[in-house]
Every structure is written in structure tokens, then in C-alpha cells.
């Protein structure tokens, strides 16, 4: 969903660039660096990413531009799917290939032991956040404490591993496919799997392949984007409401749509109390989000700047 004039790369400010970009983040850069490169490609448009990937990790990173930044919150609840590889018989101080590596035990587990370990880590499990993570303890990020050599006391978290399977196995390496709830650390999952197999493990590669119904196959790489003309980059943006498809939809006639967009409350609206609803005009234009009150009235919650 775009409007206005197309910005040129490097322009001071972009206007009218609204939509969601599905980026295939490359390895070796942070999610924030990827975001800044996207902002440059779209003329310094207002932007924000959803769901940080570590520098080592690659794959699907949705980036919201312009008005889409108002509507990114539902994605925080989406399940995520990853393809991960791990090295067996070794440990890492960070849980991945960027840490100090130490030898543990030679992998010598059977197929039955591997099957049992996978089963034990499927479903609802407890995870201890890794020290090299952005979780705060007493107001300080764990990774900052870890860099000082401090090991902080952490509380375990309950996460849901909805699907876990082995996709490749060799004498020293294991590859898995994981679909999991928000808040799951794949580095920790790799370490826990290595512990259950009695040999230790650390993560060597991680690629996010899906977030909810969003798929990596629909994403674009940075190099591909940089090779496109500006107009083609804009054309590859997804609609502003892409991340809201989990919410109920309501279409309004012109009169009610104008009232809502002017900040007025609509009465006798069908829906569930306290529920967010994505609101559209009669001709299918996305207007924004409303919220249903206890008395089934609909009040505006977050609307497009020029919704109607």
C-alpha cells in the first residue's frame, strides 16, 4: 500500500512509503543494521523490524515501513519455524559458533536415544534464557553481564515446541526443523538436546523459514533489493494490514466509517468484548484497528493517518 512520489535512494526523507517488506536477512549483520540498510533503500522511510535475528542467523525478518509500523504488534504472538544445525561433542560459551569452543564427549548415541531426546523436548518445556541474550536481570541485559564474566541467576520460562524433527544426521552434526512459540531460544534448545544425548552441542547455523503464515519463499534478499529500481522496490511491499490477518474483520458503510475515523464510538457492533478488530470501508480499504467495549460498542484504537 503506497502513495505519493517514489523517493530516490539516499534522499533526506521519504513520504508515502507504507507497507511490509519480507526480508531474507543475510548472516553477519544485526537486525538493526539490516533495518538501516532498508531505510536507505526506501529513502529513509520510517521503519521498524519485527522479531530480532542474531547476527549469525539468516532468514525471514518482516520490516514495517511508514504506517505499517502502527500495526506490527500481532506478529509478536506468532509461532516461528526454523531450520537449525548444530555441532555435536562440543560446547560454546555463547551457545553458538561465535563463542569459545570446548570439547565435551564423542557422540555415541543410538537412534532410539535420539528419538527419545526429541520427544522429551517436544511440547511444553522449561527453558533457561542464555546468558548471551537481551533478557534483563535487575535492569541490565544478560549479554552485558556475560561480557563482564558475570553469570546471573535466571528464571526458567515455559515455551511450546510445537514440532521438532531431525532433518539430517552425521557423526558430528545434527540438523533439525523447529516450530515454536514466542520466546523460544534455539541456541538453548540445541544445548539441551546435546545434554540429553550425553555429548553436548552448540548451534552452528540458524535460518528462520516462517512466522505464522508468512513464508521465507516470499522474502527478498538485500542484494536483490539493491539491484531493483526504486519503483520496483516499492511494488514489492506487502499491504499495511499484512500482519493483522489473525484478527477479526469488520466492514463499515461510508457513514459509520467516517464517524469512526473522526474518533466517534459506534454502538451495537457485533463482536467479542475487549477484542481488537481490523476495520475496512465498504469498498475494502483498510482503515485501521478498533476495539470492542463491554457493551459491544466499537471505538477507534489505531487508524491510518488518512484513513477516510
Catalytically active residues are 54
Contacts of 196 (CB under 8 A, 6+ apart): 116, 117, 120, 121
Of residues 40, 44, 46, the one with CA closest to residue 226: 40
Give yes or no for a contact between 185 and 130, defined as CB atoms under 8 angstroms apart.
yes
DSSP per-residue string spanning the chain: -B-SPPPPTT-S---SB-EEEEEEEPTTS-HHHHHHHHHHHTTS--EEESS---TT-EEEEEEEEGGGGGG-GGGGGS-EEEEEEEEESEEESSSBTTS-EEE-------HHHHHHHHHHTSEEEEEPPPSSSS-EETTEEHHHHHHTT-------EEEEEEEEEEEEE-SSEEEEEEEE-TT--HHHHHHHHHHHTTS-EEEEEEEEEEETTEEGGG-EEHHHHHHS-HHHHHHTPBPTTGGGTTS-EEEE-HHHHHHHHTTPPBPS--S-TT-EEEEEETTS-EEEEEEE-TTS-EEEEEE-TT--
**Strand pairing category for 136-137 and 140-141:** antiparallel
Round to whole Å and give the CA distance between 174 and 278.
43
Residue 20 β-bridge partners: 64, 238
Amino acid at each position: 500500500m503506497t502513495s505519493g512520489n517514489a523517493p530516490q535512494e539516499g534522499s533526506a526523507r521519504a513520504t508515502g512509503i507504507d507497507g511490509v517488506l519480507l526480508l531474507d536477512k543475510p548472516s553477519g549483520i544485526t537486525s538493526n543494521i539490516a533495518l538501516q540498510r532498508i531505510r536507505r533503500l526506501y529513502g529513509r522511510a520510517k521503519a521498524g523490524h519485527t522479531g530480532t535475528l542474531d547476527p549469525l542467523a539468516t532468514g525471514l525478518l518482516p520490516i514495517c515501513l511508514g504506517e505499517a509500523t502502527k500495526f506490527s504488534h500481532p506478529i509478536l504472538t506468532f509461532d516461528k519455524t526454523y531450520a537449525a544445525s548444530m555441532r555435536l561433542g562440543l560446547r560454546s560459551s555463547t551457545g553458538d559458533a561465535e563463542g569459545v569452543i570446548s570439547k565435551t564427549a564423542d557422540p555415541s548415541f543410538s537412534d532410539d536415544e535420539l528419538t527419545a531426546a526429541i520427544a522429551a523436548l517436544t511440547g511444553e518445556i522449561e527453558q533457561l534464557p542464555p546468558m548471551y541474550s537481551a533478557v534483563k536481570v535487575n535492569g541490565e541485559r544478560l549479554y552485558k553481564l556475560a561480557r563482564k564474566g558475570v553469570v546471573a541467576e535466571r528464571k526458567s520460562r515455559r515455551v511450546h515446541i510445537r514440532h521438532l524433527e531431525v532433518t539430517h544426521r552425521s557423526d558430528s552434526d545434527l540438523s533439525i526443523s523447529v516450530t515454536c512459540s514466542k520466546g523460544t531460544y534455539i541456541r538453548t534448545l540445541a544445548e539441551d538436546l546435546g545434554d540429553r544425548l550425553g555429548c553436548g552441542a552448540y548451534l552452528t547455523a540458524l535460518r528462520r523459514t516462517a512466522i505464522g503464515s508468512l513464508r521465507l519463499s516470499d522474502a527478498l534478499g538485500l542484494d536483490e533489493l539493491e539491484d531493483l529500481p526504486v519503483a520496483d522496490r516499492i511494488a514489492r511491499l506487502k499491504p499495511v494490514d499484512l500482519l493483522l490477518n489473525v484478527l477479526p474483520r469488520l466492514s463499515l458503510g461510508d457513514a459509520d466509517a467516517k464517524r469512526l475515523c473522526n474518533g466517534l464510538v459506534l454502538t451495537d457492533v457485533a463482536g467479542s468484548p475487549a477484542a481488537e478488530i481490523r476495520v475496512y470501508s465498504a469498498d475494502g480499504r483498510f482503515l485501521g484497528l478498533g476495539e470492542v467495549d463491554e457493551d459491544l460498542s466499537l471505538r477507534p484504537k489505531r487508524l491510518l493517518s488518512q484513513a477516510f
